[in-house]
Structure 1
Amino acid sequence: MVDLSQYLPILIFLFIALALSSLFVFLPMGVSYLTGTHNPDAEKLSEYECGFPAFEDSRSQFDVRFYLVAISFIIFDLEAAFLFPWAVSLDETGWVGWGAMMTFLGILAIGLAYEWKKGALDWE
C-alpha cells in the first residue's frame, strides 16, 4: 500500500497558493466595488491609448503610424535591455565587447536615421 501522507505538504502549499492568489485577485475588486464611484461618462469611456474609437467596423482602415511607433518602441526598448548587461560586464569583455556593442548601436542608429528620413517619427 502506498503512503500518501508524504504529499500532504504539497497539498497544503497548493491550498495556500490558491487562497493567496484568490485573495490578491478578488480583494482589490471587492474593495474598489465598495469604495469606488461607478459613474462612467464620455471622458472615462473615451479612447486614450490608440487614438481612434475602439468599437467601429473591424474592416475600417486606420493609420499605420501606430504600428511604426510600437515597432520603434520595441527596438529601442530592446536596445536599453542589452546596454545594461553590456555595461556591467564591460571589464570582462574588453575591446571585443566594446566593438560589438558599437556595431550594434551603429545598426540601430542607421535604423533610426532611416525611420526619420521616411517620416515615421512625424506626427500630425
Structure 2
Amino acid sequence: MIIILTCLFITLLISILVMSLSSILAKKTIMDREKNSPFECGFDPKGSARLPFSLRFFLIAVIFLIFDVEITLLLPLAMIINFSNIFTWTITGAIFIFILLLGLYHEWNQGALEWAY
C-alpha cells in the first residue's frame, strides 16, 4: 500500500512540476497588438467578431441532421430483406417511410423549409 501511495505521490509531483515548468517557459512576455488581434487577411477587423447567427440556417441544419439520421436507420432495412419475412419487412419499411414523409410534410406545412416569407 505504501509503494502505491509513494508512486502516486511521485507521479503527481512530476506532473505538477512539468506543468509548472511548461507554463513558465511558454509564457509570451512581448505583448504585440498585431499578434493579439485576430488575423483577417492581413487587415484589421472592421466589425465585431460576434455576428448574429441566422436562426433559419440553424433550423434547416437541424432538420437535415434529423432526416440524415433517419436515412441511416433506413439503410439496414435493405440489408435484412433476405433474413426476414417479406410481409413484416414491407410493413416495417412502409411505416418508417410514412413517418418520415409525415414529418417532412409537417415541417413544410409549418414553413420551416422556406428561406424567406
With normalisation by structure 1, the TM-score equals 0.49
Gaps of 5+ in 1: 1-38, 46-52
Alpha-carbon distance between aligned partners in 2 of 1:54 and 1:85, rounded to the nearest angstrom: 47
1:83 is matched with 74
Alpha-carbon distance between aligned partners in 2 of 1:56 and 1:89, rounded to the nearest angstrom: 49
1:64 is matched with 55
Larger Rg: 2
Select which of 41, 54, 64 maps to 1:73: 64
> What does 1:1-124 correspond to in 2, within 5 Å?
40=41, 55-56=49-50, 62-93=53-84, 94-124=86-116
Shift of 1:64: 2.6
Identity of matched residues, %: 32
Shift of 1:54: 8.0
Question: Is this contact kept in 2: 1:115–1:121, CA < 8 A?
Answer: yes
Alpha-carbon distance between aligned partners in 2 of 1:104 and 1:55, rounded to the nearest angstrom: 43
With normalisation by structure 2, the TM-score equals 0.51
SS in structure 2 opposite 1:70?
A: helix
Q: Say which structure, 1 or 2, has more relative contact order (CA 8 Å, 6+ apart).
A: 2
Gaps of 5+ in 2: 1-39
